[in-house]
Amino acid sequence: MGKAKQVRKFGEVKRMINPKDMRLKQNQKKAEEKQTEAVTKAVNHVERESTSMFFRYNTALGPPYHIIIDTNFINFALQNRLELVQAMMDCLYAKCVPCVTDCVLAELEKLGTKYRMALRVARDPRFERLPCSHKGTYADDCIVNRIMQHRCYIVATCDRDLKRRIRKIPGVPIMFITNHKLSIERLPDALGKTH
């Protein structure tokens, strides 16, 4: 005769709570967060447009032009043997004030001795220095945040990713280097020409 199977009594079996049980505090918190997230998604937030925007033209842009310069723009200008301030004036036919953020200077300092000429150009007294209050030295985010807040700048860059991000912001022209000279993209005709 075979050995009879022993069945454990229900009370003796140790009962375990399922980790997905709603009685656990963690799961309750997650459910509440999902509800609040759904409520915030339901509310439609529309970003306020800058008051200087008139249809698609930015009326805050005008001489003297304030131009924020990116690190790679300085490097490309040196490679193409361009004198930045003079080349900018030749491109826009107006007075230009090149602006350099603290992040750009920090990036150039990090790049080391190979870019010491670019650092010397960035520290030129004709360039306006823009202080940064954020943490880190990633210049692209800093530039994008600054032009989102104040639409009175032109951005000088040769970086494809940064150009792509700036194109999504209406009313901000982009200056870049092409064929050993400066060129500008998205500057309204009325502002670009003075007759």
Per residue in 28-63, pLDDT (tens digit) is 888 888 888 887 777 666 666 666 666 567 777 888
Tell me which amino acid residue 12 is. Answer: E
pLDDT: which is higher, 164 or 28: 164
Strand partners, 65: 96
3-state secondary structure of 163: helix
Query: Is residue 78, in this structure, part of any structural domain at all?
Result: yes
Mean pLDDT lowest for which of 4-13, 69-78, 118-127? Answer: 4-13
Query: Is residue 53, in this structure, part of any structural domain at all?
Result: no
CA distance 72 to 57: 28
Question: What pLDDT does 151 receive?
Answer: 86
Q: C-alpha distances in angstroms, 15 versus 10, 11, 18, 138?
A: 9, 9, 10, 54
Query: Is residue 181, in this structure, part of any structural domain at all?
Result: yes
Predicted confidence band of residue 98 (pLDDT cuts 50, 70, 90): very high
CB under 8 A, 24+ apart: contacts of 88-92: 88/156, 88/175, 88/182, 90/181, 90/182, 91/175, 91/181, 91/182, 91/183, 91/184, 92/63, 92/65, 92/184, 92/187, 92/192
Query: Is residue 35, in this structure, part of any structural domain at all?
Result: no
Predicted confidence band of residue 79 (pLDDT cuts 50, 70, 90): very high
Query: Is residue 155, in this structure, part of any structural domain at all?
Result: yes
Question: What pLDDT does 138 receive?
Answer: 87
Structural domain count of the chain: 1
Query: Is residue 80, in this structure, part of any structural domain at all?
Result: yes
Longest dimension (CA), the chain: 113
Query: Is residue 13, in this structure, part of any structural domain at all?
Result: no
Helix (H) or strand (E) holding 148: helix 139-149
Write the CATH number for 127.
3.40.50.1010
Q: C-alpha distances in angstroms, 113 versus 49, 73, 120?
A: 43, 18, 11
pLDDT: which is higher, 57 or 168: 168
Predicted confidence band of residue 13 (pLDDT cuts 50, 70, 90): low
Q: What letter would DSSP give residue 115?
A: G
When pLDDT is averaged across residues 1-28 and rounded to a whole number, the result is: 67
pLDDT: which is higher, 48 or 102: 102
pLDDT: which is higher, 108 or 188: 108
pLDDT: which is higher, 104 or 39: 104
Query: Is residue 40, in this structure, part of any structural domain at all?
Result: no
Percent of the chain at pLDDT above 70? Answer: 79
Tokens of 59: 């009326």
Q: What is the mean pLDDT of the chain?
A: 84
- Please check the confidence at residue 124 and state whether its pLDDT lies above 70: yes
Question: What pLDDT does 45 receive?
Answer: 63
- What is the domain extent for residue 156? 63-188
